[in-house]
Structure formats: C-alpha cells, structure tokens
A and B are shown apart, each in its own frame.
Chain A
C-alpha cells in the first residue's frame, strides 16, 4: 500500500504481515530447537502454513495454494514417515542436538545481523504496490505455459528421475546378491 508510505503509519496488510511473521519465526525457532522430533515436524507445518498466508498477503495466491498443497500436504507427510521409519523416539530425545550449538548460534546470529543490515539498508525506500493482484492463477498459468514451458517439462523429467532414484535406493536388496544386482 503506497498510500501512506510512512514508517509509523503501517497499513493493515503490514500489520497482518508482521503478526504472521512473528508466528512464523516463533514456529521456526521451535522447529529447530525442539527436543521432540515429531513436535519439530509439526512446528514446521505451522511455519510453512504461515508462509502461505504471507504469499496471499503479497497477492501471489497461486503460489500460496501450491505451497499448502505440496509442502503441507506431501513434504511434511514424507518427513513424518521418515521419522516413523527411522524409529524416532516419541518422547524428548536429548541427543537431537549436537555438541556445536554455541558455534551454530554465533554463526546464525552473525548471518542474521549481516543480512538484516544489508537488506534494510538496500531496500529502505522500496514499496510494493498491492492494489492490483500480481500472481493469480490466470497470470501464472499464462506465463508458465507460454514462457516457461521448456523448464517446466525439464522439471517433470527431473521429478521422474528423482522418483526412480528413490525407488532404486529404497529397494531392499538383502536376501540374495543375484536379485539385488539385476
């Protein structure tokens, strides 16, 4: 909203964006610090769902619904299956974090300070115009199948290769070497 353009007079969209951003950051911090593995996966769901809300606020509705469908629908379910198949403990597992937590904290705080300083300094005077939607399904589908159709098809081949690779990797080749080799 470029109507007010003031630091101290935020628009409604900015207020909602900041509140949702706080929820996302809290969920992300809990996701990387929680000692219960399944809880970490569920906090990841909260963070990614909040990101879908941010996409809706940025008028990118098609990306928002793809985020809900693919990330929340399949990626998190895959992660939960992975936790289940590696027999992750249900209760709190004190061994979820490594020994180098202070180093990780220092590195992430340094990168956060650097990136935030750089970004605030670079885009202090940039405003996003949200009056006309930019990213409806109509527009995205139009440019996806007009301009980006070749990368789209290459991506489908890559997904097929990933699927075949996952099947080959997870095939049980235990019993006989002859079966596993062929």
Chain B
C-alpha cells in the first residue's frame, strides 16, 4: 500500500478536528473534536510503524498508550465540564468569561444568564440549584 494514503487521510482528519475545536462552542463537542485529532495522530503512528517495520512496535504501542490516555482525558474533561455546568449552568465555552481581563466575573457579555438558558435548553433548575453556591464568586 502506498504510504501517502494513510498519511493524507490522517492529515485531513486532523484538519477536520482543528475546525471542530475552533468552531464548536459546546464543551462536549469540543472534546469530540479533540478525539478526532487524537485518532488522526494514532493512524499516523500505526501507518509509520508498519512502514518502518519497527522491531519493538513503538508506533503501535504508542497508539495503545494514546487510547488509554484519551480515555483518561475524556474522564477528567467530562468531570470538569459537569462541574462547571453544575456551578454555572453553562456548557458553552465562550460564556465562561470569569477570568477574562476587565470582564469582572463573566459580566462582560450583555446578557449572561438569559442567553445561557437559551443555550443549554432546560438549564434553569441547575442554575437555580447552583445559585446559593455561586454566592462566594
């Protein structure tokens, strides 16, 4: 098999993942795009390992490590996303402007809370549940 086929496929897949990371604003969709980029890198590793006939199979072993690492990354990432959602009622990444310079606790946008509810659908009960906890912020 020509080596160009898997290399081109993984380059295109990586670019699709880049588009997803830049264009999406839901945090879980962002994690999916990161998974696409990781999968592209895995395909590259396997293809070059088979091409080079590596005697210790480093490319395929790295792919196995990458799969395990992405499982860990998804676990931690989803825990963080769920924590942010529980505290703020938001799962859109461009609404999380609490650390922005001059923003002042996410109040830089014109309509922070109302727009959040329209973004996340029925997030009102989560927002009201998180309201007493977000008082120290």
Residues on A lying within 8 angstroms of B by beta carbon are 1, 10-11, 13-14, 17-18, 21, 24-25, 28-29, 31-32, 37, 40-41, 44, 47-48, 51, 54-55, 57-60, 62-63, 66-67, 70-71, 74-75, 78-79, 81-83, 85-89, 93, 95-98, 100-101, 103-105, 107-109, 111-112, 115-116, 119-120, 123-124, 126-130, 134-135, 139-140, 143-144, 147-148, 151, 155, 158-159, 162-163, 165-166, 169-170, 174
Expressed in whole angstroms, the minimum distance between the Cβ of A95 and any Cβ of chain B is 5
Judged by DSSP, the binding face of B is helix
Given contacts A51-B43, A70-B68, contact A112 B50 (CB under 8 A): no
The answer to whether A174 and B11 touch across the interface, beta carbons within 8 angstroms, is no
Q: Which of B12, B20, B50 contacts A59 (CB 8 A)?
A: B50
The answer to whether B121 and A88 touch across the interface, beta carbons within 8 angstroms, is yes
Question: Which A residues lie within 8 Å of B42 (CB)?
Answer: 51, 63, 67
Q: Which of B39, B70, B94, B119 contacts A47 (CB 8 A)?
A: B39
Which residues between 92 and 137 of chain B lie within 8 Å of chain A, taking CB atoms? 92, 94, 118-123, 126, 133
Given contacts A17-B1, A54-B9, A54-B43, contact A95 B15 (CB under 8 A): no
Bound form: Cα–Cα A54–B82 in Å: 34
Q: Which of A78, A126, A144, A174 contacts B64 (CB 8 A)?
A: A144
Which residues between 7 and 47 of chain B lie within 8 Å of chain A, taking CB atoms? 7-9, 11-20, 22-26, 28-29, 31-33, 35-36, 39, 42-43, 46-47
The answer to whether A85 and B92 touch across the interface, beta carbons within 8 angstroms, is no
Question: Which A residues lie within 8 Å of B67 (CB)?
Answer: 66-67, 70-71
The answer to whether B16 and A120 touch across the interface, beta carbons within 8 angstroms, is no
Number of interface residues of B (CB under 8 A): 77
Bound form: Cα–Cα A151–B81 in Å: 29
Question: Which A residues lie within 8 Å of B75 (CB)?
Answer: 78, 162-163, 166
Question: Which A residues lie within 8 Å of B16 (CB)?
Answer: 25, 28-29, 31-32, 108
Expressed in whole angstroms, the minimum distance between the Cβ of B12 and any Cβ of chain A is 6
The answer to whether A98 and B6 touch across the interface, beta carbons within 8 angstroms, is no
Closest B residue to A129 by CB, please name it. Answer: B53
The answer to whether B68 and A88 touch across the interface, beta carbons within 8 angstroms, is no
The answer to whether A143 and B61 touch across the interface, beta carbons within 8 angstroms, is yes
The answer to whether B24 and A98 touch across the interface, beta carbons within 8 angstroms, is yes
Question: Which A residues lie within 8 Å of B3 (CB)?
Answer: 123, 126-128
- For the complex with contacts A18-B5, A165-B79, 17 further pairs of A-B residues with Cβ separation under 8 Å are A17-B5, A21-B9, A25-B9, A40-B29, A54-B6, A60-B50, A75-B74, A79-B28, A88-B28, A88-B91, A98-B23, A100-B22, A127-B2, A162-B73, A162-B76, A166-B75, A169-B76
Closest A residue to B93 by CB, please name it. Answer: A98
Q: Which of B15, B57, B60, B61 contacts A112 (CB 8 A)?
A: B15
Q: Top 7 closest A-B pairs, CB basis?
A: A32-B20, A104-B22, A112-B15, A108-B19, A162-B72, A115-B11, A126-B3
The answer to whether A82 and B81 touch across the interface, beta carbons within 8 angstroms, is yes
